[in-house]
Structures are given as C-alpha cells and as structure tokens.
Amino acid sequence: MAERSFKKEVEHLRKGTGDVFTGEGILAITKALLENGVGYVGGYQGAPISHLMDVLSDAQELLEELDVRFEANASEAAAAAMLAASVHYPIRGAVTFKGAVGVNVASDALANLSSSGVTGGALVIVGEDYGEGSSIMQERTHPFAMKSQFWLLDPRPNLPSIVKAVGDGFELSEATNTPVMMMVRIRACHVTGSFETCDNQKPALSVRQALSDPQKDFQRVVLPPWSFVHEQDKVNNRWPAAETYILDNQLNEFFGPGDSEVGIVCQGGMYNGVIRALQRLGLADMYGNSQVPVYVLNVTYPIVETEFLRFCEGKSSVLIVEEGQPELIEQSVSAMAYRNGLTVKIHGKDVFPKAGELQGHIMLDAVTAFFRKAAPQMLPGQGRAPNTPKPDIPDLSKTVPVRPPSFCTGCPERPIFAGIKLAQAELGEHQIAGDIGCHLFASLPPFEVGGATMGYGLGPASNAAFDAGGEKRAISILGDGGFWHNGLSSSIGNMVYNKSDSVAVIVDNYYSAATGGQDVLSSRAANPTKQTNNPITDAVKGIGVNWVRQIDRTYDVAKVRDVMKEALTTDYDGPKVIVMSSECMLNRQRREKPIRNQAIRDGARTEVPRFGVDEDVCTGDHACMRLSGCPSLSVNQLDDPLRDDPVASIDQTCVGCGNCGEVADAAILCPSFYRADVVHNPGGFESWLARHRAGVIGWFQKRRSAKRLEFTT
C-alpha cells in the first residue's frame, strides 16, 4: 500500500492536444513520457521520486492501452540494466530513481550503457536528493555524468520546462547515441503548475514488436577492442553531436538584456532562486524580467564552450550559481575562459558557500556580495550600504531543540530495539551495524543501537570484518526492503558462504516503508499486478541458513529479548537470522482509519483502544521512555506538592499499539500502564451500565476525597 494513491490524478494523463494539465511535477513527467512515445518505463522508489513510481503503478491501465511496458525494478541496478532495450532497438525507454545513491547502486549498468551507446532514446530521471530535505549522504549526480559521459539536463523548476526537458532528453539521446540524465530536485518533483498538453503517442516500435525481430551488433558489446572504440566515439562523435544539438535547438536559455557589464550563469534548477534574489534587489520584476543577463544551463553537461564564450563577450565579471561541491561547472568554465584568453573575472564559490543547499537567504546574500564586488553601481539606493551590518536574526538553536528523525507513533520497530537493548543489559554491549531504512533511527537515543551504515541491504556485509571469533557475536540489522534490494545476495549470502557466526536481524514491516510504503516480495497484501507473500524465512533457508527464527508480533518485547539472547548465546556455529515481523503502523493506520471512521459515521458499534498511565501508581522514573521513546509518551506535572517529579503521560496521538505497556512489563518497571477501549456508538445496555459505573466510582472518589487532608493557600 503506497503512501499516496494517484488513481484520480492519472485520469488527467489522458488529456490531449488543446487541453491544459494542472498538477504536480511528477505527474507532469509521466504525462511527458507518454506524449513522447516512451516504450518502456522502470525504476526504484526513493525520495524525491517515490511518487513518480506510484503514479506509474496507478496508471498501468493507461500504459497497457498505449503498449508501454512498466516494471517496478528490484533495485536501481536492475532499473538501469532495463535500458539495455534501447541499445539495439529504436525504442524510447526511461527509468527513475533517487539521485546520487541510486546512481551509485546502478553505476555498473550505467557505465556499460554509456560505453555501448544507444539507438533509441534512453532517459534516466534522477531525483536530486540534495540539501536539508535530503535523507542521504550529501552528494551530486553531476560527477557521475562527467565520469561516464551522460548528458545531464537540469530544467528550470516549472511544469512547461520540465515537460519540454523530457522531450529534449529523448531527442538529444537519439541524436548523439548517448543516454541522458534528467535531474529533478525535491521542489521540482512536487511543484504545482500547468502546461498545454499534446496527445499521448504509442511507441513507434513497442517491446512486443521488437521481440518478433531480434537485433544484435557485437560491436556494441563492451569487450576489447570495441570498448576502446567506444571511448573514442564518445569524444570524437557523440560530444560534438551533443553540442550541435544543444545549440541548434536552444536547449539553454538567455534572459535579460543582451549587453551588460556583468552576467549570471546558473543551473536550470537554480533559476527561481536567482530571479527571486534579483527581485529582492530591485533588479528583476515579479514576472521574471531581469535587468541582468542570465544564462540558464538547462544542460549542465556538456557545457557548450562557444555558447559560454559568446555570453561572456563584453562582460567584466560573471557569477556562476552552482549548488553543492565540488564546483564542477565553475572549474569547467574557468578553464574555457583561460584557454581562450578572456579577461572576464569568474565568481562563484568566493561568494557562495562551498557546500549546502542554496536557500533563499543564502542566494540573496551571495548575489548581493557579487554585485558589491563586480558592479556596486547596479545595486539600488535602498540596498544596504557595504558596511551596514545585517539585520539581527535570532539564534533559534537555543530556543528550538534539535529534532532528529524518529520512529512513528506505534512503529513496530521500536519494540525490536527495546528488546535488543534489554538483551544487551544482561549480556553486555555488542558490535552492531545498521542499514538504510527506518530502523536506522535506532542508532539515535533512546536506543543507541548500531552506529554505522554502508548501503541499502549491506548491514551484515558491513559487519563482516568483526566475524573474527571473539567472545561476543556481532549483530547486523537490515529491513525487508533492503533484504530484497541487495541484502539476500550481498549480505545473507555472504554470511553463508563465509560461515559467519554472527546474528542478522531482518526487520519485516511488510513494505518498503521508508520510501513510501510500496509493496515488496514479502508483503502480505494481495497485489493484483505483483507476486507478494514470499516469506523471507524461505529465502534465507533456500541459500543455506539453518538457524532461523521468526517472530510474528514484534510488540512482544519479552519474546524479542529472549530470542536475541538465544541467538547470542547458542552453541550453534554458523549464520543466525531472526526475522521480526509486524505491519508498518503508518500503513496500517492508512488502511484501517478510513474504515473505522466510516463505521463510526454509520452508527456501528466500534472499539478504539487507548493506553494511559495511572498517575497514582507512576513513580516518575521514566524508564518506560528510555526503552520506548514513543512520541505519544510525554510527561505531566502533578499538583501534588509531595511529588516533585513529573509522571509519564500518554497523549491523544496514541494508536493503541501497546508497546509502552509491553516494555514496562518486559523490563519489570511498573504496573502503571493500563488499556482502555473507547466505545463509539454503544448499545443501550452499555450506556446504562457506563452511567451506573460512573456513579459508583464517583461516590467512592467523593468519599475518599472527604477523608483526605488538604492544604490550601
């Protein structure tokens, strides 16, 4: 069950010539693919393009009508390998995945694809997950495009530009026999806008038709001597063809006056930020009409030297607006200027920060600094004078606490790490490696379980060096998404082959939860277009793991603790795998809450579990929070002057998972937790009984209160 359904929105993908499409960037990209006769589409979900895969999944009926093959690939490597269909056949294909991390996973296939070259247009749509909204290491896709010679598009972040870039990408790929990457940042994926649509096009050659007439060309196989020929082809033929196509079709854009003392060169994705900064300086209006020449690189690789040199004519200084590091564009154009003897001064990272997202205030400060250096006379009179201090901005870090990522309320992974922590309390600390996914949050307080992560599905592999026969066994953790992505072969297979004596915990929450709740091979849902319900335990046994344990309810903290202790102390010498399964609470709530709310509206009797803390019993020890960390667990200050410490309290966000009570019981903390079932639409007898119970309880409360000594001020 994906995080979001696009069943209604995909109907807009049927719009044709003369219609106007309004929606998100990811829907616009899908529409553009269909308008440009794509023959097959694949990919791996991951922010910020998770929803693009969800859109494609929900649009399968339309894709089938157009004879377009869609594949939800097992990994980014599998997606990239799918583009092999465009090597010999004139079929347009597109795949999508998360930026730098996805490119890293897919690098082998992508490098081979670039070497062999393509006949049909091959487009890789990468979600550039860079900046403070990112969930991964901070890297850019640009260096990979340079390394393997992919042409890199970075369109301006509005729907018409993004849609045009899809068509340009296919045509540029076919004109140069080179695969093309199109980079879309988080904001571009989810920007809302409109564009005029065209009719959807069936592929000129479908994959079905291609199967009936197989093609091959041994000179495209990446083997010597042709691999050396491929390299020469890239430099001598494909690159000049790319420059010619970019110039002839004006893929890059120019805004502002033709002549000026200074100019700005920016990545397409940075255009909105640049124009907003110029607006705030009074150098552009609200419609984007700029008083400063702006050269927009919708193609950031390759940079066309003649076009850049033409832009620099008559200018004394040029600012390069490039997000992230290293400053690849700035280095490239600086070399062009030097080789051609230009006297223009290149500014970039001397005014911009070397790393980090170019947010609005950063862009404004850097552009202002550039004008003060290069053309102070262009700054309006109302701008701050060079020596005027910046306005005071309060340091919110002293007021607003740091808020690292955390498990959702009711998350079934939380009790797993409580159980591991309790096992370590008895057996001592162990070497623990984590993995990509929600469970990586366990490395943070209150659990502090695991301290390293090397890649999706590589948790056990990253712990391999510690399988040295010490007195304690190493523990590795990976999720079900990572297991099917890469972990089965690279991690569990590695453990079996090397006769590892360590422990691997596979967190099975039924979905690829961290990327939006998409189904995986082991999902319990009945997916009409995918084969699910393939047990992880069967898979690990199938490759030779003999010590396997299955926990079907992770909220049983005592059982989790005991099975972990067994794995860490057993005499069995070999890989030990524990599969801990419970449904992702977020997905469960998405499925159950609408049904429950509808039942309440229909007047049906409905019970909703809630947990609470008896304030008279709670001692204020707060050990429950140290072993749970649930966001619904907080503290409450009592009015009792004899009790200084605040007691535990459960707020209304509680989903009734019972983890807090289970933790308290397993850790032998206290009996202060209780469960209360809230009954909606009770029957007549239940209502009568509830009133009488309330009356009896109220009488006892008044009686006790009358005998209590109270102090008043």
* Max Cα-Cα span within the chain: 98
Tokens matching residue 346: 């290149």
Round to whole Å and give the CA distance between 589 and 113: 42
Please tell me the class of the 253-378 domain.
Answer: alpha beta
Give exposure, 176-190, as e/b (b: 16+ Cβ within 10 Å): bbbbbbbbbbbebbe
Identify the pLDDT of residue 389: 55
Would you state the structure tokens that stand for residue 249, as one six-digit string? 């079709």
Residue with tokens 């308008």: 35
**DSSP SS3 for 290:** strand
Would the CA dihedral through 210, 211, 215, 221 be positive or negative?
Answer: positive
| pLDDT of the residue at 431 | 93
Q: What's the average model confidence in pLDDT over 120-136?
A: 85
In the chain, what percentage of residues exceed pLDDT 90? 59
The pTM for the full model equals: 0.86
Distance from chain centroid for Cα 467: 32
Report residue 3's pLDDT band, with 50, 70 and 90 as the boundaries: low
Domain ranges of the chain: 18-196+217-248, 253-378, 414-587, 606-707
Locate 567 and state its tokens. Answer: 């794995």
> What digits encode the pLDDT tens for the residues 609-625?
888 888 888 877 777 77
Fold match, 253-378 / 606-707: no
Q: How confident is the model at residue 217 (pLDDT cuts 50, 70, 90)?
A: confident
Which is more confident, 406 or 385?
406
Q: Of 3.40.50.1370, 3.40.50.970, 3.20.20.70, 2.40.160.60, which CATH number belongs to 18-196+217-248?
A: 3.40.50.970
Element (H, E) at 477: strand 475-479
CA angle 639, 644, 648 (to 5 degrees): 80
Residue 361, both tokens:
């205030």
Q: What is the Cα–Cα distance from 39 to 429, expressed in whole angstroms?
A: 54
Query: Which three-class secondary structure string do you get for 672-683?
Result: CEEEEEEEECCC
The conformation of residue 13, written as its DSSP 8-state character, comes to G
CATH architecture of 606-707: 2-Layer Sandwich (3.30)
Count of CB atoms situated within 10 Å of the CB of 411: 27
Class of domain 414-587: alpha beta
**Closest Cα to residue 70, out of 183, 203, 180, 179?**
203
What number of other Cβ atoms are within 10 A of residue 368's Cβ?
18
- DSSP reduced 3-state for 30: helix
Of 582, 482, 460, 480, give the one whose Cα is nearest residue 534. Answer: 480
Strand ranges inside 6-110, DSSP E = 20-24, 40-43, 69-72, 93-98
Q: Is 138 exposed, middle or buried, given 0-12, 13-18 or 19+ CB atoms closer than 10 A?
A: middle
Rounded Cα distance, 227 and 233, in Å: 10
In tens, the pLDDT along 504-537 reads 999 999 988 877 788 889 999 888 888 899 999 9
- For 399-411, the pLDDT digits (tens) are 766 667 788 888 9
Distances (CA, A) of 496 to 481, 545, 550, 671: 20, 6, 18, 44
Q: What is the DSSP string of 599-614?
A: HHHTT--EEEEEEEE-
Task: Express each pLDDT in 55-92 by its tens digit.
Answer: 998 899 999 999 999 999 989 999 999 999 999 999 99
Beta-strand pair 294-297/253-255:
antiparallel
